[in-house]
A and B are shown apart, each in its own frame.
Chain A
């Protein structure tokens, strides 16, 4: 079933076309991220989905309903700007919003406390909202959106206007929602947010859906790989660079360009032998960033036709031969080679840690 469906959606304000025939389909249970430049119509789309705006042409169906009045109470909404009724305490505010959603005592109080606890505002629940920081307000925003346990959550630019600490807090809360099976529709212009949170990403450009990517496409290894390590000795640096001219070291960063699975494995083995902790291993050029840039600059983008046979390899059935993704950033490929090798590394480390115990046995 589709949580959101739009067909040829057109919205115009004073003869300015904001949406020009948008076709969008978001299945239930998915976290869908809609990327777009500022002013591309992301908030307009959310307001159309919520029934605040009426389309000039086209159809909108949310949770299978054409009539927005029928989805009232089934949808949670986190607005872009931190605009709440500031002359209430958080507890009072959530109580009223709960009553508007038909929640009744004692369930209402339970839900309010549960949500305040979930966003870590229980201790500040009786403070007026006008004394809250932006980060706290955005956490309250998440609490109010989830208060009535909606089937669908519409989130508009969740980290907009927040300082890095506030962004981290909100990001963490949204990451926690991932595991709870909510259908989430998220709009943003922050690539990191969608890359890490979303199952599928669409790009809104010039009023239309200019392209879509699935999470497996987002996470395929790029042509280059960047490895960040916790420590690096000059000897190790030399040994790494002797492996291949493609391996370059600088400070705590190792870059393999171009990357091959063999070379990547060799580098990781050297690091393992030298007892060096790997902090991160990631594609040096990001698929989504390139995809987005291509769309915005009007370059042609290859469209993947089907997902890989094994989008998420399990330890029981690892891919036999891991190959790096082709140069085309969005072409379907095998799941992250880096991930596979990391898993090898981890299992080898686990084996190393397990050995003394086994010896004792």
Chain B
């Protein structure tokens, strides 16, 4: 209970710092601009709505998570961590704060779309079916960004993870004559691609489900897979952060 109270206090503390730093202005301005550009001009279909809002939410997650983890990567944080805030509470506090900001903007966009009647067929059922995988994707992406933040992993590990991600996504880049030139190496690449792209399946399938809102027979398993993958990434980040030397960026 005390841990929860301390973590909640830390989330509030971080959010106040984020707002007062002026960094929040970027998202505050970007959200209405997004709404004006993509949803203002006419009544959108649900597919279009969830596609654009889904992509904007990911961009927002990137922007907010990066900003908050930069705020958390300063020597000021030593004074927080010397108290009863554990390293895991500290890291999860930063993560939950960024997720909270994303959620607030997402809800604001949806409320605006509903009140201004910019989306056809946006009822509670459709909203829940579309929002659940989108928000889980935001949580998953946020967890990945947290794992890749400099306070969690050293640069060598971050580069390795990015390289694995590049291999996983290389199917779209390597095709045609290039495949023939690679010869037997392409087989090895195929195997690696299959292995490393497997964790991405829940994310991509979740996005597709949000657009179609068609969960089929196993749709709920995708939601569980998204949540499980998020938890795995969070656990990895917390584990790495708890074993690290804490050397915050002093620039």
In the assembled complex, A83 has its CB within 8 A of some CB on chain B: yes
Asked, given contacts A52-B245, A72-B86, whether A100 binds B21 with beta carbons under 8 Å apart, the answer is no
Q: B246, A53: Cβ atoms under 8 Å?
A: yes
A interface secondary structure, majority: loop
Knowing A100-B85, A102-B2, the reply to whether A81 touches B16 (Cβ < 8 A) is no
Residue A47 interfacial (CB < 8 Å): yes
Chain B CB within 8 A of A198 CB: no
Q: Which residues of B contact A172 (CB under 8 A)?
A: none
Contact stretch, chosen from B44-52, B74-82, B121-129: B74-82
Complex: chain B residue closest to A54, CB-CB: B245
**B249 CB → nearest A CB, Å:** 11
**A99 on the B face (CB < 8 A):** yes
- In Å, the complex CA distance between A76 and B75 comes to 16
| A96 contacts chain B at the CB level, 8 A cutoff | yes
Most interface-central of A52, A81, A88 (chain B CB within 10 A): A52
Whether B246 contacts A84 by the Cβ 8 Å rule is: no
> At the interface, yes or no: B41 with Cβ under 8 Å from chain A?
no
Instruction: Give the residue of B20, B82, B250 whose beta carbon is less than 8 angstroms from that of A77.
Output: B82
A87 at the interface (CB under 8 A from B): yes
Least CB distance from A172 to B in Å reads 23
Question: From A50, which residue of chain B is reached at the shortest CB distance?
Answer: B82
A88 engages B16 (CB within 8 Å): yes
Cβ A96 vs Cβ B82 within 8 A: no
Given A54-B243, A87-B20, A100-B6, decide whether A79 and B86 contact each other with a Cβ distance below 8 A: no
Q: In whole Å, how far is A158's beta carbon from the nearest beta carbon of chain B?
A: 15
B106 an interface residue at 8 Å Cβ cutoff? no
Which residues of chain B from 1 to 31 have any CB-CB distance to chain A below 8 Å in the complex?
A: 2, 5-6, 9-10, 13, 16-17, 20-21
The answer for the CA separation of A50 and B245 in the assembled complex, in Å, is: 11
Contacts of A73 in B (CB 8 A): 83-84
Residues of A within 8 A of B78 (CB): 47, 50, 52, 77, 79
- The count of chain B contact residues (Cβ–Cβ below 8 Å) is 27
CB-defined contacts of B74 to chain A, threshold 8 Å: 83
Q: How far is the CB of B89 from chain A (nearest CB, A)?
A: 9
- Tell whether, in the assembled complex, residue A100 and residue B243 are in contact, meaning their CB atoms are under 8 Å apart: no
Bound Cα distance from A148 to B79, whole angstroms: 12
Q: B246 and A72: CB pair below 8 A?
A: no
Question: Is A97 located at the chain interface by the 8 A CB criterion?
Answer: yes
Total interface residues in chain A, CB < 8 Å: 26
Q: Decide if A188 is an interface residue (CB 8 Å cutoff).
A: no
Instruction: Say yes or no: A102 contacts B243, CB within 8 Å.
Output: no
Q: How far is the CA of A81 from the CA of B85 in the complex (A)?
A: 21
Contact B82 A99 (CB under 8 A): no
| A96-B13 CB under 8 A given contacts A54-B243, A72-B84 | yes
* In contact, B10 and A100 (Cβ under 8 angstroms): yes
Q: How far apart are A251's CB and chain B's nearest CB, in angstroms?
A: 46
Docked-complex contact B81 and A52, CB < 8 angstroms: yes
Tell whether A85 is near chain B: CB-to-CB under 8 Å.
Answer: yes
A144 to B21 Cα, complex, angstroms:
22
Q: Mark A37-75, 1 if CB is under 8 A from B, else 0.
A: 000000000010010111000000000000001001101
Contact (A79, B245) CB under 8 Å given A72-B86, A87-B20, A100-B10: no
What is the bound-complex CA distance between A13 and B154, given in angstroms? 13
Q: A83 vs B251: C-alpha distance in the bound complex, in angstroms? A: 11
Are A52's CB and B246's CB within 8 A? yes
Beyond A81-B75, A87-B20, A87-B21, whether A75 also contacts B246 by CB under 8 A is no
A312: interface (CB < 8 Å):
no
Q: What distance in Å separates the Cβ of A181 from its nearest Cβ neighbour in chain B?
A: 21
- Complex alpha-carbon distance, A240 and B78, angstroms: 57
Assembly CA distance A52 to B81 (angstroms): 8
Residues of B contacting A79 in the complex (Cβ-Cβ under 8 angstroms): 75, 78-79
| 9 cross-chain pairs, A with B, having the tightest CB-CB distances, nearest first | A87-B20, A100-B83, A52-B246, A99-B9, A73-B84, A77-B82, A101-B83, A83-B75, A53-B245
Known contacts A83-B76, A144-B79; 13 additional CB pairs below 8 A are: A50-B78, A53-B247, A54-B245, A87-B16, A87-B20, A88-B20, A97-B80, A99-B5, A99-B9, A100-B9, A101-B83, A102-B2, A148-B83
A-B contacts, 15 listed (Cβ < 8 Å): A47-B78, A53-B246, A54-B243, A72-B85, A72-B86, A81-B75, A81-B250, A83-B76, A84-B76, A88-B16, A97-B79, A97-B80, A100-B84, A101-B84, A102-B2
